[in-house]
């Protein structure tokens, strides 16, 4: 019997219960108090030493066995999205306007399933830290846990992450060494002018016109300042100004996000945004203020550990079900901040031909629960011999 089948027979019933409970009760970033309490209660019942309120609503479970000195971290994310679920599932979200439409409920479930199996059988020699991280959707949870002393309180030799991905073949694992996901930077630019009646524009300094010019100028960064072989995105997703058609407003706000695939390119793109904003503001005689959000980070997998994990995954699932190198994405993940500190490997598990994550009709394929849990168990067994 394969390890996946063993895991399925051992903990699938528990995982189904976890998954449906978490899916019905979604909580947004840094609001995951009930989710954290549920996780902590389950871990305690399995015999883990449990640490709560790490990075606000994060939970860490610790399990040691034998005399091994090595420690690894297995990380799942716990937050939901502010989106209304459109699929009428038997376990549909019971909270209006909130739903687990990225699969974080499933990621948490897979790690809880592995936690139960590892505690029952202890097929390892060393220490496992199970990291249930909040607020991945706003790129804040990893930094919050790190700032709360995650790696100092729970020193680990390597850390591992796993995320489902629609459009990739169901149940297959995808691993790639090096940079695999882009850095995201979310900024807000406020342009302040002088308001006026719409019939007297000469008495105004119009922030709408300045903002419109700025939107178009920012689009030249990728087309003219980034090499064609590189990947970058600059998106202005919100332009907020005024309420009436016959009033020139006092200010305009632009909210934008950038995605960059290399650290040095990130700095270049952000510097161009700063320079173009300053020049445009000067040309249109408006004042400007840039509010820079959490600095982004490119997610970089440790190459040596990626090769090792690939071998472990092939033994678990068969070489035909492990893709290396796999695809890379312009999406972002705050797992990148762990990877800046210690060796890290982030893998994708194919969710099949479903709507993409963050889509109101996205559905996690539950066939992956046993595969994901078995993957965590295999990492623990191999790294902690």
For residues 385 and 18, the answer to whether their CB atoms sit within 8 Å is no
Pairing of strands 287-292, 71-77: unpaired
The burial class, CB within 10 Å (0-12 / 13-18 / 19+), for 96 is: exposed
For residues 373 and 190, the answer to whether their CB atoms sit within 8 Å is no
Q: Known binder of ligand: residue 137? A: yes
pLDDT of residue 7: 86
Q: Which residues of the chain have pLDDT under 50?
A: none
Q: Known binder of ligand: residue 268? A: no
pLDDT of residue 2: 80
pLDDT of residue 248: 98
Buried b (16+ CB within 10 A) or exposed e, 195-213: bbeeeeeeebbbbbbbbbb
Q: Which domains does the chain have, with CATH numbers?
A: 3-181+298-383 (3.40.630.10), 183-292 (3.30.70.360)
Q: Known binder of ligand: residue 104? A: yes
pLDDT of residue 3: 80
The half-sphere exposure of 38 on its side-chain side, counting CA atoms within 13 A, is 20
Q: Known binder of ligand: residue 100? A: no
pLDDT of residue 283: 98
Q: Known binder of ligand: residue 102? A: yes
For residues 128 and 63, the answer to whether their CB atoms sit within 8 Å is yes
For residues 357 and 103, the answer to whether their CB atoms sit within 8 Å is yes
Q: Is the pTM of this model over 0.85?
A: yes
């Amino acid at each position: 019997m394969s390890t996946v089948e063993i895991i399925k027979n051992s903990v699938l019933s528990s995982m189904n219960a976890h998954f449906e409970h978490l899916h019905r009760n979604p909580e947004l970033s840094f609001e995951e108090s009930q989710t954290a309490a549920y996780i902590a209660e389950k871990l305690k019942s399995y015999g883990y030493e449990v640490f709560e309120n790490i990075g606000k609503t994060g939970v860490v479970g610790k399990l040691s066995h034998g005399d091994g000195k090595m420690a690894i971290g297995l990380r799942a994310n716990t937050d939901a999205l502010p989106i209304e679920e459109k699929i009428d599932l038997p376990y549909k979200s019971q909270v209006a306007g909130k739903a687990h439409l990225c699969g974080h409920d499933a990621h948490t479930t897979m790690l809880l399933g592995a936690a139960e199996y590892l505690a029952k059988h202890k097929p390892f020699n060393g220490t496992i830290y199970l990291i249930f991280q909040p607020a991945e959707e706003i790129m804040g949870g990893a930094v919050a846990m790190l700032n709360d002393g995650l790696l100092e309180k729970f020193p680990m030799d390597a850390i591992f992450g796993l995320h489902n991905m629609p459009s990739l073949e169901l149940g297959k694992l995808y691993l790639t060494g090096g940079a695999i996901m882009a850095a995201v930077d979310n900024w807000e630019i406020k342009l302040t002018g002088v308001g006026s009646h719409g019939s007297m524009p000469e008495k105004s300094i119009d922030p709408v016109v300045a903002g419109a010019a700025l939107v178009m100028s920012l689009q030249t960064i990728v087309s003219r300042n980034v090499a064609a072989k590189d990947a970058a995105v600059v998106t202005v997703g919100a332009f907020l100004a005024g309420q009436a058609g016959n009033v020139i407003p006092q200010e305009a706000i632009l909210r934008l996000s950038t995605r960059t695939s290399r650290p040095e390119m990130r700095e270049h793109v952000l510097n161009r945004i700063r320079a173009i904003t300053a020049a445009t503001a000067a040309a249109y005689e408006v004042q400007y203020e840039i509010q820079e959000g959490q600095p982004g980070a490119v997610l970089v997998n440790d190459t040596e550990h990626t090769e090792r994990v690939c071998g472990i995954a092939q033994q678990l699932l068969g070489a035909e079900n492990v893709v290396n190198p796999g695809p890379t994405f312009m999406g972002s993940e705050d797992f990148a901040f762990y990877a800046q500190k210690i060796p890290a490997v982030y893998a994708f598990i194919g969710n099949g031909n479903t709507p993409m994550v963050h889509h109101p009709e996205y559905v996690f394929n539950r066939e992956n629960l046993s595969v994901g849990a078995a993957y965590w168990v295999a990492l623990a067994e191999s790294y902690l011999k």
